[in-house]
A and B are shown apart, each in its own frame.
Chain A
């Protein structure tokens, strides 16, 4: 039978201060858990990328029209399912942005370990060429570190706003 223990969850507006608090809290919680340092490190680094990804994404969206304040909130749930860590996140996204993100996620999911390394290195060297380019490094990093495919879903809230759900199972 599947057993799930929730370690940490929250729902609300994502601010820089909240990110900091969640990371501190998660680190303190994991220190009390009987986990290999390797696992702890991996879960923490993936969480950092997830939260910062959402934060930057919502920050970008905020400058766009039609993105109301209540759409700046997100949900995050960290749990342990049958001995594996699972990080689930959900946040609003402007409908026109979905296509690009879906394409990038499918691209990442189509690659094996070596392919991901190559994609990461290319994106990192491109990022060094133009200071503005984000090149989606965060998602590639999450896929590499988790050792699993990025499980995602897009839901439609209305004609303009969608909801992006991402589930990351950590090996």
Chain B
């Protein structure tokens, strides 16, 4: 059974999510500061695991945070790792941060050090 596209609207504490399994496009954008991040991210991680069994030819994951708490960072590690099982096909993670947002750039560099996938840190305009 194939997955259908997923869209979750943003809230004051959780980001907008757009997953398109056919195009292989993943986007998480906005604030991610819930106190129990795994409640929000675990269903997304399960979704990615199912996607990874039958992925598109090329997968790109864009994440762009205004705020990110450590609870979300832990969940993000699991989220990125879920793409790690895709083999023989392109996977790219793009960490976007607002110009001059040093903290978010640093957060991207932390993930770049730990995550074992092609990882790009890119500057962009305001969300």
What is the size, in residues, of chain A's interface with B at 8 Å between Cβ atoms? 28
Given contacts A38-B101, A128-B74, 9 further A-B contacts (CB under 8 A): A41-B101, A42-B103, A45-B33, A45-B69, A49-B69, A49-B70, A52-B71, A124-B74, A128-B114
- Choose the segment among A16-24, A81-89, A90-98 that binds chain B (4+ C-beta atoms closer than 8 Å): A16-24
Contact of A41 among B69, B78, B103, B110 (CB under 8 A): B103
**CB distance A137 to B70 under 8 Å?**
yes
What are the 6 closest A-B residue pairs judged by CB atoms, nearest first? Answer: A128-B77, A137-B70, A127-B74, A125-B114, A52-B35, A141-B70
Q: Are B67 and A41 in contact (CB under 8 A)?
A: yes
Does B100 sit at the interface, judged by CB under 8 A? yes
Q: How far is the CA of A127 from the CA of B37 in the complex (A)?
A: 13
Contact of B77 among A16, A20, A45, A124 (CB under 8 A): A124
Q: What separation, in Å, do the CA atoms of A82 and B76 have in the docked complex?
A: 38
Most buried by B among A19, A44, A52: A52
For A52, the chain B residues whose CB sits under 8 A away are 35, 69, 71
A56 adjacent to chain B (CB < 8 Å): yes
**Distance of B122 from chain A, by nearest CB (Å):** 19
Near A by CB (< 8 A), chain B positions 20-56 give 33, 35, 38
Number of interface residues of B (CB under 8 A): 23
Residues of B within 8 A of A (CB): 12-13, 33, 35, 38, 67-71, 73-74, 77-78, 81, 100-103, 106, 110, 113-114
Bound-state CA distance A24–B13 (Å) is 10
Contacts of A48 in B (CB 8 A): 33, 67, 69
- Determine if A137 and B103 form an interchain contact, defined as CB atoms under 8 angstroms apart: no
Report yes or no: B81 in contact with A128, Cβ–Cβ below 8 A.
yes
Question: Are B13 and A20 in contact, CB atoms less than 8 angstroms apart?
Answer: yes
Tell me if B114 and A16 are in contact (CB < 8 A): no
Give the chain A neighbours of B33 by CB distance below 8 A.
23, 45, 48
B106: chain A residues at CB < 8 Å are 117, 144
Q: How far is A117 from B46 in the complex, measured between Cα atoms in Å?
A: 30
Question: In the assembly, what is the distance between CA of A55 and CA of B36, in Å?
Answer: 11
When distances are taken between beta carbons in the complex, the residues of chain A under 8 Å from B110 are 117, 120-121, 124
B113 and A121 form a contact (CB under 8 A): yes
Q: Distance (Å) between the CB of B102 and the closest chain A CB?
A: 8
